[in-house]
Amino acid sequence: MDPVQIVCSLGHVATTDELFRRGISPRDIRAALQTGQITRATRGIYVCQHADDEQRQAAALHAQIACVSAVHRVGVWCGLDCALHLMRPADARGGGASARPLVDWNGRELQFHGATPRFARPGTPWLVAPIEAVWQAIHCLDEENAIACLESARHLKFITSAEQRRICVLAPARLQPGIRELEDTADSGLETLTRRRLRHHGFTVVAQGRIGTSTGSLREDLVVDDCVALEIDGRQWHGAEKLASDYDRDLCVEGLGRRTLRLSYRHVMFEWETTLAVIERTVADARRNRRSVRRIVGQNEPWW
């Protein structure tokens, strides 16, 4: 293997020691630098052309990508925090608090974390271990986003069940009430936020509810008070095929008599008061319609 292949195999960032351990000589490194196949981020650390800005910034500062920045890289929920979080040893080359910049090359805020890992599981020279990243993130995030991060990290298998339990036992007291409400039902952080907000508002909310059809059953993200289904779309564009499937499901569920509301990232994160008012009105209407139908047909079974 040449230096480029090794740097790529290590996540696009490698130290001189890592290259030496894999049989790469100083001459090989100089040749790769001269051809531009790799570049020197800082003394003793090299990156290939596939390294992104976060990796290059971390390497240049002899730091590791940490906390919400580390979990965000794999799609784990991290709320609205947009800063680049790094863990940098105090004795790093050029170290010291005065050597820590406040913003990165693009003007993005930099947040530095303590250099002593809480957990022994090793990461990489440029990225903290998953359990360490989640541990740091729940300390930086507010309560509802910290709980969503814990559920999301487990759902995406970023951490194991045992690691989640270990984090929860050691978590701050402010998070313990929310930890007692943890579930493994949410497909996204938005679902966690919506489920918990509605329950705290007094609604009964069932996650991953189902409604029967002639050909089987349809899964619904959340069912509120057994009469209104919520589908949470998130920020990602679903694509034409997935979008068509969502519309088909909404139409089918409506046809079976259960109201359906589809919420976007904006509805949950930036327009929650309005969204809550719509849900309250829709649930009230659905309850009223259910009572009317039951009076007409004279039965107590669910009206759909």
At 156-174, the pLDDT tens digits run 999 999 999 999 999 999 9
Per DSSP, the three-state class of 289 is helix
SS3 assignment for 164-199: HHHHHHHCCHHHHHHHCCCCCCCCCHHHHHHHHHHH
Enumerate residues 6+ apart whose C-beta is below 8 A from 12.
47, 48, 50, 51, 52, 55
Mean pLDDT along residues 12-39: 95
- pLDDT at position 294: 62
Mean pLDDT, rounded, of the chain: 86
Per domain, the residue ranges of the chain are 3-51, 64-179, 189-297
| Paired tokens of 142 | 């507010």
pLDDT of residue 220: 85
In this prediction, residue 116 carries a pLDDT of 79
Q: What is the pLDDT of residue 177?
A: 97
Query: DSSP class of residue 213?
Result: E
pLDDT at 66 over 90: yes
Residue 214, pLDDT score: 47
Residue 219: its pLDDT value, please?
78
Model confidence at 300: pLDDT above 70 = no
In three-state secondary structure terms, 84 is strand
Coil vs helix vs strand at 15 = strand
Residues paired with 65 in a beta bridge: 86, 127
Task: Please choose, from the candidates 228, 221, 77, the residue with its C-alpha nearest in 3D space to the C-alpha of residue 155.
Answer: 77
101-125 per-position pLDDT tens digit: 888 878 889 999 977 788 877 788 8
Residue 206 has pLDDT above 70, yes or no: yes
Stretch among 94-98, 184-188, 243-247 having the lowest mean pLDDT: 94-98
The residue-averaged pLDDT of 230-252 equals 60
Per-residue confidence (pLDDT) for residue 98, from 0 to 100? 47
| Separate counts of helices (H) and strands (E) for the chain | 13, 10
Query: Taking residues 65-83, what's their average pLDDT?
Result: 96
Confidence of residue 74 (pLDDT cuts 50, 70, 90): very high
Fold of 189-297: Endonuclease; Chain A (3.40.960)
% residues pLDDT > 90 (the chain): 68
